[in-house]
Amino acid sequence: MTSRGRPAWKPRLVRERYGKDIWVPGRGTVRPHRLMVEKVIGRILPSHAQIHHFRYGAHPIIVVCEDQAYHDLLERRHRALVACGHVDWKRCRYCREWDTPEAVSEDAHRHSFHLACAAADVRHRRASGRMKMN
Ligand SMILES: [Zn+2]
């Protein structure tokens, strides 16, 4: 038992969805899927490596990503595939429809939108007095 009255070895539940973290002496708590991958590749994963969960459950499908940027890319493509069946389609932030990369524009914050939908939104906001006119 620790001074706080809990056994030191007890895994800490961080996020239910990912399962319980596992206590590894000398490393602290480690996500179960990292340990699973490390067992397969036979070495410790670098800290910048991220695990993408393609499928959860008893027979998970996971992809080891070299960093968070690549993981973000995979997440975006995975979401698109599940939502509309095309990995490279993007969702308009105004009409919420998925469309081809050619049909949607993207701003610096990676927000995707139809130019027509963005223009309609500006017109609507001007008409309702929620946008300053110069
Ligand atoms: Zn749109």
11 within 8 A of 29, measured Cβ to Cβ = yes
CA of 134 to the centre of ligand 1 (A): 26
What 3 state SS string does 1-48 have? Answer: CCCCCCCCCCCCCCEHHHECCEEECCCEEECHHHHHHHHHHCCCCCCC
CA of 111 to the centre of ligand 1 (A): 12
pTM over 0.95: no
Residues, beta carbon < 5 Å, ion ligand 1 = 92, 94-95, 114, 117
Average pLDDT (95-114) is: 95
| pLDDT tens track for 7-38 | 443 333 334 455 678 888 888 888 888 888 88
CA of 65 to the centre of ligand 1 (A): 31
CA of 85 to the centre of ligand 1 (A): 18
